[in-house]
Amino acid sequence: MSRLTRAQQQQRTHERLLAAGRSVFVRRGFLAATVEEIVAEAGYTRGALYKHFGGKEGLWLAITEAQAEQHLLHLGERLGNASDRDELIAALIPGGPAFGEGEPRWSVATYEFAAWIASQPELAGTVVAGQRLREERIVELLERNCARLGIRPVLPLPQVVVLIGALGGSLALRRAVDPATDVRAVEAGVIAAVFPMPSGKGKS
């Protein structure tokens, strides 16, 4: 086998640290997870983690940023493929690991991070700025597809996007502590109320 280039080695280290970090955060939560645990699972040293991410917080942000980008990519595809209101609503129902499906501990870790970052105003400002940029991208997707399908939301789309994000986060935590709750039914009901049937069309 050919030897990896330095760039390839760096990329592999980066990816292994991301995978190990996510595994440890799911297992231990954000607050209890330690740099030592993460690097031991990845097979590297503390220095490697600090070089790539600057610390545990930077690693968390890198993981969540990658998840958010993946979510935006899939959301754009689903909205673009929606042919009516019902399919648009289905596309907006959060799902996947980022929302706690299959890994409820991830939802708990997310809330731990949110509580911790509230006392870190500088870092919180950076996180909020990134979140707002992602929300703007979702608004653009919704504007384009709502216009295409003739759908008019009952709230301004920037408010709709914040509402759906907050709803998904809180219900992911609910799923973690109360798996019997049908969170998808709740999500679908709220989103359907926000996006009423286009005028001139019957009930779905």
pLDDT digits (tens, 9 = 90+) for 83-117: 999 999 999 986 654 444 456 788 889 989 999 99
Is residue 14, in this structure, part of any structural domain at all?
no
Is residue 49, in this structure, part of any structural domain at all?
no
Is residue 68, in this structure, part of any structural domain at all?
yes
Those residues with Cβ within 8 angstroms of residue 6's Cβ, 6 or more apart along the chain or in another chain: none
Q: Which segment of 60-64, 120-124, 129-133, 139-143 scores lowest on mean pLDDT?
A: 120-124
The pTM score is 0.85
Is residue 21, in this structure, part of any structural domain at all?
no
Between vectors from CA 6 to CA 65 and to CA 60, what angle results, nearest 5°?
20
Question: 195 to each of 63, 75, 190, how far by Cα in Å?
Answer: 32, 17, 9
Is residue 171, in this structure, part of any structural domain at all?
yes
Q: Nearest CA to 108 among 169, 60, 61, 17? A: 169
Please report, for the domain that includes residue 164, its CATH number: 1.10.357
The pLDDT assigned to 137 comes to 97
- Mean pLDDT in residue range 142-159: 97
pLDDT tens digits along 162-198: 999 999 888 888 888 888 988 889 999 999 999 998 8
pLDDT tens digits along 153-169: 999 999 999 999 999 88
Is residue 73, in this structure, part of any structural domain at all?
yes
The pLDDT assigned to 94 comes to 67
Is residue 42, in this structure, part of any structural domain at all?
no
Residue 13 in this model has a pLDDT that exceeds 90: yes
Q: State the residue range of the domain holding 109.
A: 61-194
Tokens of residue 26, six digits: 């799911």
The domain tally of the chain equals 1
Is residue 23, in this structure, part of any structural domain at all?
no
- Mean pLDDT in residue range 17-31: 95
pLDDT tens digits along 53-77: 999 999 999 999 998 999 999 999 9
Please give the full DSSP string across 127-166, using - where no structure is assigned.
HHHHHHHHHHHHHHHHHHHHHHHT---SS-HHHHHHHHHH
Please give the full DSSP string across 45-66, using - where no structure is assigned.
-HHHHHHHHSSHHHHHHHHHHH
- Mean pLDDT in residue range 8-18: 93
